[in-house]
Structures are given as structure tokens and as C-alpha cells.
Amino acid sequence: MVFNNWRIRRVGQAVFTVWAVLTLSFVLVRLMPGNPMGAMLVQLEQSGMNPVRARKLIELRLSMRPDQPIPVAYVQYLASTLQGDLGQSIASGEPVAQEIAQALPWTLFVMSWSLCITFVLGVVVGALMAYWEGGRLDVGLTSWAIMMGSIPYYVLAFLLLIFLSYRFGWFPTGGKYVAETDPGFNLPFILGVIHHAAMPVLSMIVASGVTSLGMRGNAIRVLGSDYLRVARLRGLSDLTISTQYVARNAILPMYTTLLISIGEMFGGSVVLEQVFQYKGLGYYLYRAVELRDYPRMMGGFMVITIAVVIALLIADMTYSMIDPRTGGTSNEAY
Amino acid sequence: MGLFQSMVRIVVGIDVLLLLLLAFSFAFLEPGTGSYVVAVLTLVPVCITLLGGIATLKFDWDPF
């Protein structure tokens, strides 16, 4: 009963978190200087349109009345969101849910490969660094990881773009796929997608060098444990000790770190996709902020919030499966 | 339960999250578009690792 009550409470916490973040986002977005009407007016006037005509055009286009009082707009937004309607984008007039659904796979493609490679590399390299602690490999890799972790990921992205794309021409300078190819299940398109996604993935992997440092620290901590001494005295082989005892216990904190990094990757995608002109969720979110496109902004924030909350919920619910000591009761993984 | 099983559980957890997000996308995607192709390209390895992970856990397989 306690076990089930804890899970119900944890799901309730997740729902409350999503609601709180949405509410805060809604208020902050509306308090931003400027409004959608002003942003569109500036754009139309810059393109040479008569200001009076531009204003009339915007009034026709805008059906969401951004001049509504915030509480009224908030209640209407919550009601429509609960019915699955995320509204229409002010910039394009398309349903926000459809725009996000079309942009999300591109970001997920980059993110899934980044997560997978970061995790595997981080665990393996971190374990090697801990095994050869103090040696040249450890010192070199630690210095590299600290340096890469200290450089902001968007700076790394620019550096990679300058050298690998513009200087050497190994990777494209921007975009999601080769423009000349037809989207579909054909090899030129698929290869183009992979080639264009390589740079954002590389930026995320290189910037996540601290993952190996975390694994190294965990492994060194475990190496000093008494039960390892007992395992050696029992005559267990090095392979058994390193996999069943050291790595298995060192990897436990990496689980929640990895799932939390999903939120960091989503946040990072906003700037990264701008740098590489990779039109995923982050790119559209950035454009929505520029244009004060409230519905698109809220839709993007909501998807990211729900993704992060679900990731943490999964971490909490399943942590006891990888660490039986937690017992799956009221202990949380973070 | 060893290192391999722990890693498989971690992978399954991430796969579940990615599947949920992809399910949202697939509800709105039209077959034949670039986004649909990329969603499938993301879905395939996710499904493979998820099914492999579930099978590994069910049969308690550990190569180490």
C-alpha cells in the first residue's frame, strides 16, 4: 500500500510540476516586452507595406486578442490545452500541435544519438580513467573533459562549424537535409539527413565530456569500498569485480544524470539549432520568441516541460529496479 | 543483476520516453514527408533497443 501511495504521489507531483511550469511560462511570456502585433507590424513595415494597411492585416490575422487580461487568457488557454488544442501559430496560421509534431522528430533524432553516444562513451571512458587513475591517460582525458565541459556548447558549435564545415568542408554549413533530394525513404535523402545531423550531434557529445568525469568520480569512490576488498579476498576475477561490483555501482548515479541531461539537451537545442540552421523544435521555439508568437512559445515550452517531467518520473519509478537498496518506497532518485 | 542488466534498464527507460514523444509526433505527421521519415529513422533503433532490452530482462541474460 505504501509502495502504491508513493507512486500515486509521485505522479501527482509530476502533474503539479507541469501545471506550475506552464503557468509560470504563460505569465512570463505575456510579460515580455512587445507583443505579437508589434512584432508583425515592424516586419510588415520593414517590407515596405503601408502602416495602416499592415495594422488592418494584422487585426484580421490575430484571432487570439493578445490584449486580453492575463487571467482570462490563462483560463482559456488551460481549457483549450486540456482538450488537446494548443492554438494556432500567429506567424504561420498553422495549428501549433502540428508544427511542433513536425519539428520534434528532427530534434529527437539528434538528441537520441547524442544521448546514446554520450552515455556509452562517458561510462567506458570514465571507467578507463578510474582504472588508470593518476596515469597519463587519466590525466590527459581528465584535462580534455574539463576543458570541453568549461566551454559553452554554442561556442563549441561555432568552432566546429568554422573548422569542419567552412574550413575543411567535411560537413554541411546548415539545414536538415540536402535541398536537391526528395524527402522520402530513399538513400540520398536519408544519408543527407544523417550528414546534416552529424554536426549538432558532435557538438552535444563534445560538450558532454563531463559525463566521463562523473563516471570516473563514481568509480573511484566505489574502488575504495570495503566490499571490493572482500571480493578480491574471495578470489573473484578482475573482470567480475570490475563489471559486477565497480561499474555496476558506479553507474547508479549516472542514471538520473542521464535523464536530467535530456532537459539540458532540449534547452541546448534552442541555440544549437540556430547555429546550424537545423529546423527542429529548438529553432521554432527561438523564432517564436523573436516574433512574440505566444501559442507557439507555449506549445514548445509545454512539450519540453512534459518531456523533462516524464524523464524524471521514469527515473524515480525505475530507480529501485537498478538499485534494490532503495526499495521503491518513498525514496527518490534525486 | 550485473552491469549489463543495469545498462539495459537505463536504455529501456530512455526508450520509453522517446517512444512517448514520437507517439505525439506520429499523431500529426503525414507519410512521405521529411519529418515522417526522420521520425521512422528515430523510431527504428528505439524499438530495436526497447524490444532487445525487454527480452534481455525477461530472460535474465547477462553476457559478462
| pLDDT tens digits for range B32-64 | 899 999 999 999 999 999 999 888 888 877 766
CB atoms inside a 10 Å sphere around CB A256? 18
d(C-alpha B53, C-alpha B41), whole Å: 19
Cell of B32: 512521405
pLDDT score, position A331: 46
**Which pLDDT tens digit goes with each residue over A249-287?**
777 777 777 877 888 888 888 999 999 999 999 999 999
Alpha carbon distance B42, A192 (integer Å)? 15
**How many angstroms separate the CA atoms of A119 and A112, rounded?**
11
Q: Where are the alpha helices (DSSP H) in chain A?
A: 2-31, 36-46, 51-61, 70-82, 96-131, 136-150, 153-160, 187-207, 210-223, 226-233, 238-240, 248-250, 252-275, 281-291, 294-322
First to last CA, chain B: 11
Most A CBs within 10 Å, among B1, B4, B6, B12, to test the A interface: B6
Report the residue from A184, A247, A310 with minimal CB separation from B17.
A310
CB pair distance less than 8 Å for A106 and B35: yes
Integer Cα distance of A310 and A318 in angstroms:
12
Taking CA–CA distances from B26, the nearest residue in chain A reads A101
- Is the minimum CB–CB distance between A207 and chain B shorter than 8 Å? no
Rounded to whole angstroms, how far apart are CA atoms A42 and A51?
9
Query: Chain B residues with CB-CB distance to A under 8 A?
Result: 1-4, 6-7, 9-10, 13-14, 16-18, 20-22, 24-29, 32-42, 45-46, 64
Q: What is the pLDDT of residue A64?
A: 53
Q: CA-CA distance, B2 to A248, in Å (whole number)? A: 6
CB contact under 8 A, B25 and A101: yes
> Which stretches of chain A score pLDDT less than 70?
1-4, 56-57, 59-68, 243, 320-334
| pLDDT at residue A334 in the model | 45
| Distance in Å, alpha carbon of B32 to nearest chain A alpha carbon | 5
The pTM of the full predicted model, rounded to 2 decimals, is 0.81
